[in-house]
């Protein structure tokens, strides 16, 4: 081989380098944007949480972990954490249970038609109906449910209660009921997305599996719990994590629906709302950043624990 000739190994290496260069050229700009607009703000938030920055001065004073020490004695902060705990327990369970029920009906609830398992009549139409709340802006949903939850007789729910002789209910003014009322709105808006998600998971399961079980005498209960649920468990796991992260948010709906932004008497406050209020109402950006850091670690911890606890052996089909 003369000098300058490229052998098979050299040609293969050159092709790989060109391929990697092509991939890097496409990833470089998105990665740079992600670092600038996502990673960088996180790093800045960690630094600001260690200062007493008021949002104005160019050189905030470093105070170490003083802001985090204040969080331990902040009753409003712990009230928000308790509300997130309730949301984490109830909201994913309710949303996933309803979405699984609807998804099963839309895909397998119609019984055997033409020798094959089918969904209920009008399944395609119902998918659109269930998904429709998902396309509405959160602010629109909040204004809509303000009219529904209005505490006097002009509210939709209280108007219906008045029609059957029951007194008005303070859906958003009762400290024991307000958070549940807002949670119901979150569930109502979220169910449609998870119906579509779980329907996609069920559609990926070969119909022969269900038909064989049906021929063996398995009813709908057995089809759901013994076949459907194990085979779409990975999809449910993803949905659970998404809903848990959503439970750490809820800022927009609480902002729009709650009385006095997190009221009454801090009965509906959540950490994103407290971060916003502390920063932009009281100009305590250092303390608000400490809350943000706490929220970051709560979210990461939840996601890691959820993936660990719900992990199962993958079933191939």
* Tens digits of residue pLDDT in 149-167: 888 777 888 888 888 888 7
Which secondary-structure segment (H or E) carries 111?
A: strand 111-113
Residue 94 resides in a domain: yes
Quick one: 231 and 275 in the same domain? yes
Strand partners, 259: 263
Quick one: 37 and 71 in the same domain? no
Distance CA 106, CA 122 (A): 8
Report the chain's C-alpha Rg in angstroms: 26
Q: Which domain holds residue 34?
A: 1-48
Judged on CB neighbours under 10 Å (0-12, 13-18, 19+), 23 is: exposed
Residue 316 resides in a domain: no
Distance CA 160, CA 166 (A): 9
Residue 70 resides in a domain: yes
Distance CA 258, CA 172 (A): 6
Confidence at residue 139, expressed as pLDDT on a 0 to 100 scale: 86
Query: What is the band of 212 on the pLDDT scale with cuts at 50, 70, 90?
Result: confident
Contact present, 262 and 270 (Cβ < 8 Å): yes
**Domains in the chain: how many in total?**
2
Residue 302 resides in a domain: yes
DSSP 101: H
Quick one: 108 and 212 in the same domain? yes
Quick one: 203 and 108 in the same domain? yes
Residue 17 resides in a domain: yes
Query: What is the band of 1 on the pLDDT scale with cuts at 50, 70, 90?
Result: very low
Quick one: 90 and 21 in the same domain? no
Residue 139 resides in a domain: yes
End-to-end Cα separation, the chain, in angstroms: 52
Q: Is the pLDDT at 248 greater than 50, yes or no?
A: yes
Quick one: 165 and 232 in the same domain? yes
Stated pTM of the model: 0.82
Helix residue spans in 118-177 (DSSP H): 123-135, 138-148, 156-163
Confidence at residue 250, expressed as pLDDT on a 0 to 100 scale: 84
Quick one: 187 and 274 in the same domain? yes
């Amino acid at each position: 081989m003369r000098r300058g000739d490229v052998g098979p190994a050299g040609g293969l290496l050159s092709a790989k380098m060109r391929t990697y260069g092509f991939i890097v050229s496409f990833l470089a700009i998105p990665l740079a944007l992600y670092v600038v607009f996502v990673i960088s703000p996180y790093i800045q938030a960690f630094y600001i949480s260690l200062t007493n920055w008021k949002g104005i001065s160019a050189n905030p004073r470093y105070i170490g972990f003083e802001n985090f020490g204040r969080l331990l004695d902040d009753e409003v902060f712990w009230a928000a954490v308790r509300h997130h705990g309730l949301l984490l327990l109830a909201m994913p369970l309710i949303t996933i249970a309803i979405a699984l029920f609807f998804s099963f009906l839309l895909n397998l609830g119609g019984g055997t038609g033409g020798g094959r398992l089918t969904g209920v009549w009008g399944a395609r139409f119902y998918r659109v109906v269930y998904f429709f709340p998902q396309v509405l802006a959160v602010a629109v949903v909040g204004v809509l449910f303000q009219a529904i939850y209005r505490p006097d007789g002009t509210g939709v729910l209280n108007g219906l209660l008045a029609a059957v002789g029951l007194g008005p209910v303070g859906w958003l003014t009762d400290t024991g009921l307000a958070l549940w009322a807002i949670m119901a709105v979150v569930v109502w808006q979220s169910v449609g997305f998870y119906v579509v998600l779980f329907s996609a998971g069920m559609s990926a399961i070969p119909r022969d599996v269900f038909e064989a079980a049906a021929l063996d005498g398995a009813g709908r209960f057995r089809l759901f719990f013994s076949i459907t649920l194990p085979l779409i468990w990975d999809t449910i796991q993803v949905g659970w994590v998404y809903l848990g992260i959503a439970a750490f948010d809820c800022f927009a709906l609480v902002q729009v629906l709650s009385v006095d932004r997190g009221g009454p008497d801090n009965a509906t406050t959540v950490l994103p709302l407290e971060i916003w209020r502390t920063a932009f109402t009281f100009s305590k950006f250092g303390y608000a950043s400490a809350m943000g850091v706490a929220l970051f670690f709560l979210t990461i911890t939840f996601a890691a624990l959820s993936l660990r606890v719900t992990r199962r052996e993958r079933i191939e089909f």
